Amino acid sequence: MTVIDANRMHEIETRYPEYFHRSLRQRFGGLMILIATLLYSLYAVWFFDLPKLFAEAHWERVGIYLSQWVSYDVQPEFRIGDDGSIDIRYPRFSPLGDNPHPDWLVNNPDGSITVSISGTSRTVTVSKSETIVTAHGVSVPVDVSSGAPEVVGPVPGWITVYDDNVLADLGFAGNVSISVDRVKIRKRFIGWANFIFDTQSSFFDKPVGEVVSLIVSGPRIKSDQSNLSLAFDDIWNNSEWQHGDVWTKLFQTIVMAFLGTLLGALTAFPLAFLAARNITPNRLLNQVLKRFFDFLRSVDMLIWALFLTRAFGPGPLAGSGAIFLTETGTLGKLYSEGLENIDNKPREGVKSTGAQTVLVHRYGIMPQIVPVFVSQTLYQWESNVRGATIIGAVGAGGIGLKLWEAMRTNANWENVAYMVILILIVVFIFDTASNALRHRLMGTKAH
């Protein structure tokens, strides 16, 4: 065991004072950061009034919207006449078409009609004098023969009684609204209705095998057009899903991102050489251009889009212009900083041979910066594909505007899901391609 005397100990303390005489910050820095984080979190809770916000939030809407993303509903309405007849009506644009005969609706011998909401466990039987709702293992009759609908017997928790209406909530399967002269049913189905062919198509409601047979070898449905061409037209011009318009707007978004990024890169590239201190030794010009870049990128792309839609009207031109202005500022700053961090030895070597300025830049600077510049530009292009979707919502064209229109109706959430999935796929493809190109250019391995 080694014993260290006082002199040796003093020598060690003198040589390594940072280990023996730690400052207050070094001793309590971690604890202070932890306390500051906790205090800031408590302040944020108070400032945003999070308890009240969470208590008053409409959490039930989350389930409603998510269910509408992956399902659709059919809403038959049963009108009870004075003579006891029951007239079945569907909304004008019903997913079942103009002449529906669903198998889940059965006409009974006694004149009543039974609707299966979810198999045999949830059904509704409509007659001239009462409506019977069966769900959760019980059958609840609702008398409609008097001036107001009246639940016969105890009222279960899933039924709400109003003055002139009785509402039965059957969960995800749907609901039933009962009044004296009409019963309205909302029946929900998993999936997207009429995604391929709409109700106006000649191929609507035909089995897959029959559609394939018609396209491959069947007689022409229209004498002046092949069945293959007709099927493509019906899909492209689907009135409910608007595939043609959605894909056209998606392509507009991609073009907006590409054009805006390309023009921004082409503009920022020469300006970056003038802004770099080691390339252009003019401090005034350097500062003016750098502040110009700061101005262009400090104004958000969304704000530029709002300005340009006022100037040129709504459309992809405004969107491309907004991306161009933002990218000129962003790439100009990135390019100029990249130039200021190059190794000057290759440049000085080429310059010492008496080469012209253009050749000095070409052989002394470009080999160092091209991989970095291309990598940065590809990253910005990938980012702008997402950004172009956002600015489209303010009128700058592309699928963003289409997405906003679908959300504003508060009824076409399945269309919203369709467009969101397309956007995710496009972003994933561009992200993967951009990463692969960047790693290839930088000589690194993609993970």
The pLDDT assigned to 78 comes to: 92
Residue 37 tokens read as 């984080």
The pLDDT assigned to 373 comes to: 86
The answer, yes or no, to whether residue 276 has pLDDT greater than 60, is: yes
* Bridge partner list, 222: 225
The answer, yes or no, to whether residue 447 has pLDDT greater than 60, is: no
Rounded mean pLDDT, 351-363: 76
The answer, yes or no, to whether residue 268 has pLDDT greater than 90, is: yes
Residue 67 tokens read as 């269910």
Pick 243-442's CATH classification: 3.40.50.20, 3.20.20.70, 3.40.50.620, 1.10.3720.10: 1.10.3720.10
Q: How far apart are CA 190 and CA 68, in angstroms?
A: 9
Share of the chain above pLDDT 90, in %: 32
Q: Greater confidence, 359 or 43?
A: 43
Q: How far apart are CA 47 and CA 126, in angstroms?
A: 54
Q: Which of 229-238, 266-275, 397-406 has the lowest mean pLDDT?
A: 397-406
Band the pLDDT of 406: cuts 50, 70, 90. Answer: confident
Q: What residue spans define the domains of the chain?
A: 73-190, 243-442
Q: How far apart are CA 134 and CA 121, in angstroms?
A: 7
The answer, yes or no, to whether residue 103 has pLDDT greater than 80, is: yes
Q: Compute CA distances 297 → 29, 117, 161, 255, 293, whole Å.
A: 36, 55, 58, 21, 6
The answer, yes or no, to whether residue 405 has pLDDT greater than 70, is: yes
Which of 116, 111, 109, 110 is CA-nearest to residue 133? 116
User: In the block, which residue shows the tokens 């919207």?
Assistant: 65
The pLDDT assigned to 39 comes to: 94
Band the pLDDT of 98: cuts 50, 70, 90. Answer: confident
The pLDDT assigned to 13 comes to: 65
Band the pLDDT of 230: cuts 50, 70, 90. Answer: very high
Q: How far apart are CA 64 and CA 32, in angstroms?
A: 45
Residue 155 tokens read as 């009222």
Which of 315, 258, 268 is CA-nearest to residue 296? 268
The pLDDT assigned to 76 comes to: 92
Q: How far apart are CA 77 and CA 91, in angstroms?
A: 8
Rounded mean pLDDT, 13-40: 77
Share of the chain above pLDDT 70, in %: 93
Q: Compute CA distances 379 → 266, 384, 427, 430, 437, whole Å.
A: 15, 9, 12, 10, 10
Which of 275, 256, 379, 259 is CA-nearest to residue 332? 275
Contact 35, 42 (CB under 8 A): no
User: pLDDT for 200-210, tens place per residue?
Assistant: 898 888 889 99
The answer, yes or no, to whether residue 42 has pLDDT greater than 80, is: yes
DSSP element (H, E) containing 241 = none
Q: Greater confidence, 146 or 50?
A: 50
227: three-class secondary structure by DSSP: helix
Rounded mean pLDDT, 233-248: 92
Query: What's the mean per-residue pLDDT of the chain?
Result: 86
Residue 328 tokens read as 């000129």
Contact 321, 261 (CB under 8 A): no
User: pLDDT for 293-304, tens place per residue?
Assistant: 999 989 888 899
The pLDDT assigned to 10 comes to: 67
User: pLDDT for 158-204, tens place per residue?
Assistant: 999 998 899 999 988 889 999 988 999 999 999 998 999 988 898 88
The answer, yes or no, to whether residue 2 has pLDDT greater than 80, is: no
Q: How far apart are CA 266 and CA 335, in angstroms?
A: 11
The pLDDT assigned to 23 comes to: 66
The model carries a pTM of 0.78
